[in-house]
Structure 1
Amino acid sequence: MKAKVAIIGSGNIGTDLMIKIQRTSDILEMGAMVGIDPESDGLSRAARLGVATTYEGIEGLLKLPCYKDIKVVFDATSAQTHERHDKVLRADGKQVIDLTPAALGPYVIPSVNMDEHLAEKNMNMVTCGGQATIPIVYAIKRATERLLYGEIVASISSKSAGPGTRANIDEFTETTRAGIESVGGAERGKAIIVLNPAEPPLIMRDTVFALSQGGDQDAIRDSIHKMVETVQEYVPGYRLKQEVQFEVIGDNNPVNIPDIGLASGLKTSVFLEVEGAAHYLPAYAGNLDIMTSAALKVAERWVETKMKQMVS
């Protein structure tokens, strides 16, 4: 028997997630799609698929007869709105998976720490840039003695950035930076996002720069390749754009890291590309695909874990 889920937010991310659940999941079943615009494409598609809908936001969700059967609620709205949603949903015993940068719950990256937080009532999916790059930061960290700095640049097509993404730009940089440090293991992190207006639209590109000490180049390269393979298990379009690059930063020409000071070590540069599965939006929208794929992976693991606990 599948577990019923609800999605709050009928925009790009919510709609793509709904279609992924409908087409690919053997564990989850759409129970409700929630929005605030009665004319939104997401609500229209949900209705055509036979999914219960409401354009009255979370208040409308609470009124739906199926609400009592909902096990998992995905929030794909905004960081500010999620704070109110979280209080209501947790009080009703719903498992919350947050696709906004609100970060009320722990940061969860499926390829890094998914099983560590399954007991949490709210799990945060960081950001699209975080999902794409933090696995690489972590891969470098586990192959070295010390990861002093991690910097990521996420470049996405302007066409794939809807109102929710644009409203959360400030939260994106702060949440991603915090994830680079707390999940990726960097002592200091930095995140930059670029909305690229190029035509035709470009596929999501991500660059990771890291400065580490200890560990050799072969070990770091091998760790990165293994991590790419792990992420590809749930995001097939995730790949290295070119080979990993290294540069030795000597004591005679150290770099200045904020709050750390002058430092030397090994600079690692990783160039990624994320092609979407095109379930809802075109393949260039890899930024949406990696978020919804990660959220789906986490929800399925949570349900599987709960089912095993019930059996035992």
Structure 2
Amino acid sequence: MSKTKVAIIGSGNIGTDLMIKIMRLSKVLEVGAFVGIDPESDGLKRAERLGVPITAGGIDGLTKMDGFADIEIVFDATSAGAHKHHNEVLQAFGKRVIDLTPAAIGPFTIPCINGEQNLDAPNVNMVTCGGQATIPVVAAVSKVSKVHYAEIVASISSKSAGPGTRANIDEFTETTSLAIEKVGGANRGKAIIVLNPAEPPLIMRDTVYCLCDFADEAAITRSIEETVAQVKSYVPGYRLKQAVQFERFDDSNPLFIAEMDKVFTGLKVTTFLEVEGAAHYLPAYAGNLDIMTSAALATAERIARRQQNDRIVEEV
């Protein structure tokens, strides 16, 4: 069976890494177009050298390309503001859209949590790099105990944060916080991102704090470890940095949650994660890029397989 043709809008770090991943790893996808707005960008030049059809004309240039009609799935790796316009144009042409910006127009999608639920949605949102890394842990705790509050801190190398990432900082915190609640299952979510200027650059590190009801600590640990293994199946560099930590708060030492203006008693679950990139385009410290592009690739492949199966059924 022929591969599903896809287009990538955004010739920066994320778009270029995604293009290379698809070309090296995917058995069901083929890059039919690579789109940017700067003809001198490294991404566009690299795509051209690799024989991928390119345009520096943005979304309008994409719709005018000879092979646009054959494109079935479009990845948007630009910015939250630009995505709104891109999505309107692409929906008018009936294209399936995978949003790698924090625009959050379509349903939040994290492969190991709800990857099968949104395959028919016209637009799916990949949340953020911090969301892809940490929300699976919140969801894992939620499977065992009610999570009243979850806070994540994503620390990434400043060198791995391009113009698009920097332009989306506010959207990052808002989108990730909302997804912690809607996908992770927490009553209240909070997200913090740190751009670390350290030299040599540090790889992505994430800390997840969950305040939940008292529960079997071994069961929570087991749920987190199983979830980490699921994420690792499509993000090889994803791992626990150390053992899951627990702290108990009862009536004798309650914890005040300022964000919720309430006193909490129960378990505090702390999880430390590390995400090493596959270095397909940028160095291994750019795990924040790797987890986004890996999650988007996994989602697109599921959508493509669904479309291919539907066509087989129709032909029968």
CA distance in 2, matches of 1:260, 1:93: 46
Pick which of 131-140 and 208-217 moved more. Answer: 208-217
- Two-structure CA RMSD over aligned residues (Å): 0.8
1:24 and 2:25 aligned: yes
1:118 and 2:119 aligned: yes
Query: Residue 256 of structure 1: CA displacement?
Result: 2.5
Deviations 1:183-236 (A, max 9, x none): 000000100000000000001000000010142100000000000100010000
What residue in structure 2 maps to residue 242 of structure 1?
A: 242
1:86 and 2:68 aligned: no
Secondary structure at the residue paired with 1:45? Answer: helix
Secondary structure at the residue paired with 1:65? Answer: coil
* Structure 2 counterparts to residues 280-299 of structure 1, below 5 A: 280-299=281-300
Secondary structure at the residue paired with 1:210? Answer: strand
Query: Residue 246 of structure 1: CA displacement?
Result: 0.3
2:26 maps to amino acid: S
Query: Residue 311 of structure 1: CA displacement?
Result: 1.7
What residue in structure 1 maps to residue 104 of structure 2?
A: 103
Query: Residue 259 of structure 1: CA displacement?
Result: 3.4
What residue in structure 2 maps to residue 129 of structure 1?
A: 130
CA distance in 2, matches of 1:180, 1:150: 7
What residue in structure 2 maps to residue 273 of structure 1?
A: 274
Deviations 1:50-69 (A, max 9, x none): 11111110000011001000
Query: Residue 250 of structure 1: CA displacement?
Result: 1.2
* Structure 2 counterparts to residues 199-210 of structure 1, below 5 A: 199-210=199-210
1:243 maps to amino acid: A
**Superposition TM-score, scaled by structure 2 size:** 0.97
2:37 maps to amino acid: I
1:19 maps to amino acid: I
What residue in structure 2 maps to residue 194 of structure 1?
A: 194
What residue in structure 2 maps to residue 159 of structure 1?
A: 159
Query: Residue 253 of structure 1: CA displacement?
Result: 2.1
* Count of matched residue positions in the alignment of Structure 1 and Structure 2: 311
Deviations 1:79-123 (A, max 9, x none): 000000000101101000000000000000001001111111000
1:157 maps to amino acid: S
- What stretches of structure 1 of length at least 5 have no aligned partner? none
CA distance in 2, matches of 1:16, 1:7: 11
Identity of aligned residues (%): 65
1:49 maps to amino acid: L
CA distance in 1, matches of 2:161, 2:15: 13
CA distance in 2, matches of 1:25, 1:184: 28
2:129 maps to amino acid: C
**Superposition TM-score, scaled by structure 1 size:** 0.99
CA distance in 1, matches of 2:60, 2:252: 62
2:163 maps to amino acid: P
Deviations 1:6-44 (A, max 9, x none): 000000000000000000000000000000000000000
1:304 and 2:316 aligned: no
Secondary structure at the residue paired with 1:115? Answer: coil
CA distance in 1, matches of 2:225, 2:263: 30
1:63 and 2:64 aligned: yes
1:140 maps to amino acid: V
CA distance in 2, matches of 1:177, 1:91: 30
Pick which of 256-265 and 37-46 moved more. Answer: 256-265
CA distance in 2, matches of 1:90, 1:260: 42
Query: Residue 260 of structure 1: CA displacement?
Result: 6.0
1:44 and 2:45 aligned: yes
- What stretches of structure 2 of length at least 5 have no aligned partner? none
Secondary structure at the residue paired with 1:278? Answer: coil
CA distance in 2, matches of 1:168, 1:64: 29
Secondary structure at the residue paired with 1:21? Answer: helix
CA distance in 2, matches of 1:254, 1:117: 40
CA distance in 2, matches of 1:253, 1:214: 14
Q: Which runs of 4+ in 1 moved over 4 A?
A: none
